[in-house]
Amino acid sequence: MRRHLPLLALLFAAQIAAAPPKLEKRAIISFDPGWRFLQSDAAGAEQPAFDDAAWRAVDVPHDWSIAGPFDPQNTTGGAGGFLPAGIGWYRKQFTLPESDSAKSVFIDFDGVMANSDVWINGFHLGHRPYGYVSFEYELTGHLHFGSGRANVLAVRADNLLQPASRWYAGAGIYRHVRLLVLDPVHVAHWSTFISTPGIDPGSALVHVQTSVANQSQTASPVGIQITLFDPSGTQVADTTLPSQTIQPAQTAEFTTELRVNKPSIWDISHPVLYTARIRTRAGRRTTDDELTPFGIREFHFDAATGFWLNGRNFKLKGVCLHGDAGALGVAVPLSAWQWRLAALRELGVNAIRTAHNPPAPEFLDLCDRMGFLVMDEMFDCWTVGKNPYDYHLYFAEWSKIDTRDTVRRDRNHPSIILYSAGNEIHDTPKQQLAKAILSGLLDVFHTNDPTRPVTQALFRPNVSHDYEDGLADMLDVIGQNYRENEILAAHAAKPSRKIVGTENGHDRKVWLALRDNPPYAGQFIWSGIDYLGESRRWPVIGNSSGLLDRDGFPRPDALEHQAWWSDRPVVNMVRRTAAAYVTPTDPGYETAPVDRRQSAFADWTPADLSPHEETVEVYSNCAEVELFLNARSLGSKSLPEDASPRVWQVPFETGTLRAVGKNGGAAVAQNELQTAGKPAKILLTTIRERLTPGWDDVACITAAIVDQNGIHLPRATNLIRFSTNSAGKIVAVDNAGNASHEPFQTSERSAYGGRAIAIVRATSDAGRLVISASAEGLAGSEVSIELQKGNPNEF
């Protein structure tokens, strides 16, 4: 399988959701640009008068660790991809007009890695240890207003003590930052909660609750107006709630229900979003307005039949994802996630587990828009640590606060169907401790969102007796990592249990356990995409467990999963070698040729082109597959009941190997592999036809080394040099090789597996961005992308 370019391009070309109504009162100002950064500690840097002139100018999101260098002496070790750690400072100067002096002003951070402290004009606003949570501080009372009166926002992120994570976690202000300027009477932060408790074909009941804060000096009668807009932006429901008198420094809660006629239902194949606009009114004056996207849908887990969405029963075909995107680190533009999720969707993936922490909020927005179901996970540990300096040091003080804030932030996303309280928690052998912690977390989840079930990725529950001591049955849906026979046995022992696989391997027996057992709601494969870190030894800097490699190309396992999971006819082929091969944990892995780093190859270009026999595996969901070598039929094979591949022993000869899938005797899909000749040129491709300037919109440019006929050479390692015209810039390069120590933030990269990528960003909103690639001894190539104005979140 190759990337299905028309499908992926369509996802980028189409605007998935219509623009919602615009805000009229509240001001939300991006605070991403214009920071100064220092990659070390600096005494007194929180003070406004501190001289930061020598600091580097950066925009956020910014992950400073990804710049490297890779070094076996870096204290993050293999878990952190051997990338650097330490302390980083950020400072930003800004001014506010005198007209804002009577307003309430807040700063929102979507995520700072990690142990962050924030100051405004020298005043310490607060500390947050967990790098994956979003948080807000109020700046009111600590600001200067008027022309020439500068304010200084300072942030210190402390990642010095390592190891603090089992995977690459990055460093710095790696998510977006916003300034909010509000009337003192306004909708309280994360207080709006929208659910759809009743849906029938003719109408849907929409439940809305919110809180209004009065930060003025006088009591104020406040009412609210709630208006619902459909996916096209048309108003479909409206109500005004009676006023409540809110005293100074107090809040009041408002709750109501509205009915939407002939609702458009959110589904994985129809991810449409409504918008709720809440306006606060003090007398005749509108003081604030807030926009909240939501989806109208119904889901539940059933102990006997698994997962249901909008009356349909189907399996969760999920993958686990860490938060980095290879060369981009953990500061990931939204468009990068979009092309990655689109590549997973092509395999048949319909669900994502955010392993093992809350994601960036815009990632959940994207899942809403693309129709993915999400398990929103909180923690990788509780009070028993997995590293000397990980979250267990802060769990007792912060876990309930972090859970509350995350649930309140995320509870309006229709994509979320499960919360997870933790992954492979090592507290569970201590029965009383673990049950007390889980009980407290469940209270926080259910208090802040009673509409969604909570699971936990149980770790060897038969060893820690989770099924016997009652811990597993505290969960709304029981989750277990691996050992599928154990969770199925637990269900057989108590059929009222709702069960899901929270982390699973790639083997066929794993798929059969899901396919053949109706109570088993779904599985989340470890992992969806290769990621940095979790390496057991130098020089390996990444983990190769993904269905996709870091650059988004499918591994052979992915081709088999596509045949199991896809709803459309699929035919894929690989060569399967019997020779021993090395894994990333074996000595000599870094110097071994690509042929010895895996045992399956989606090509017809073996290293040995002399006569020999090749084992060909065909992965297909078609009733019949016929194999051809250079137009000669090698016979047909029927679909096995046990989902095993169809295997041929093929005498090798150069040329074309073609597999044709048939249903009812008619050809419905095919796959073709050709023998490559000598390297001749670079072939540049991209799925993007248009690009807008802005941090969140980037394009991935693939450089493949091909022969004179355009056939990819799977073992080419040429050094490829990328360049752009003045309309854009290169953000990063990569080749998906987990033993490569070449820097990401440069313009050249050695090919691995015959490919390398460049990630580019537009610096203009007109004309064309031209990207070129060259390599010694090869004909170069270029590709161009049309540039346009627009919202970079609407691809």
Look at residues 784, 751, 760 and name the one whose alpha carbon lies nearest to residue 336: 760
- Predicted local distance difference test score (pLDDT) of residue 23: 87
The tokens describing 404, both together, are 């509350």
Whether the pLDDT of residue 580 is over 90: the answer is no
Q: What does the DSSP 8-state code read for residue 495?
A: T
Whether the pLDDT of residue 588 is over 60: the answer is no
Distance CA 133, CA 475 (A): 23
Contacts for 73 with CB less than 8 Å, ≥ 6 apart:
none
Strand, coil or helix: 338: helix
Find out whether 604 and 672 touch, Cβ atoms under 8 Å. no
Distance CA 245, CA 220 (A): 5
Q: pLDDT category, 579, cuts 50, 70, 90?
A: low
The predicted model gives 203-225 an average pLDDT of 97
- Predicted local distance difference test score (pLDDT) of residue 765: 95
Q: Is 424 an active-site residue?
A: yes
- Predicted local distance difference test score (pLDDT) of residue 195: 98
Whether the pLDDT of residue 505 is over 50: the answer is yes
pLDDT tens-place string over residues 658-716: 999 999 999 999 999 999 999 999 999 999 999 999 999 999 999 999 999 999 999 99
The predicted model gives 553-572 an average pLDDT of 97
- Predicted local distance difference test score (pLDDT) of residue 586: 54
Whether the pLDDT of residue 262 is over 70: the answer is yes
pLDDT tens-place string over residues 327-372: 999 999 999 999 999 999 999 999 999 999 999 999 999 999 999 9
Rounded to the nearest integer, the mean pLDDT of the chain is 94
Q: Is 136 an active-site residue?
A: no
- Predicted local distance difference test score (pLDDT) of residue 582: 56
pLDDT tens-place string over residues 751-790: 999 999 999 999 999 999 999 999 999 999 999 999 999 7
Active-site pick, 346, 484, 503, 624: 503
Whether the pLDDT of residue 201 is over 90: the answer is no
- Predicted local distance difference test score (pLDDT) of residue 598: 73
- Predicted local distance difference test score (pLDDT) of residue 578: 75
Query: What radius of gyration do the chain's Cα atoms show?
Result: 27
Whether the pLDDT of residue 12 is over 50: the answer is no
Q: pLDDT category, 283, cuts 50, 70, 90?
A: confident
Whole-number percent of the chain with pLDDT over 70: 94
The tokens describing 771, both together, are 């990207």
pLDDT tens-place string over residues 86-136: 999 999 999 999 999 999 999 999 999 999 999 999 999 999 999 999 999
Q: pLDDT category, 634, cuts 50, 70, 90?
A: very high
Find out whether 485 and 513 touch, Cβ atoms under 8 Å. yes
Find out whether 398 and 130 touch, Cβ atoms under 8 Å. yes
Phi, then psi, of 92 in degrees rounded to 5: -140, 125
Q: pLDDT category, 10, cuts 50, 70, 90?
A: very low
pLDDT tens-place string over residues 366-409: 999 999 999 999 999 999 999 999 999 999 999 999 999 999 99
Whether the pLDDT of residue 72 is over 70: the answer is yes
Distance CA 166, CA 385 (A): 11
Q: pLDDT category, 793, cuts 50, 70, 90?
A: very low
Active-site pick, 46, 377, 424, 484: 424
The predicted model gives 2-16 an average pLDDT of 43
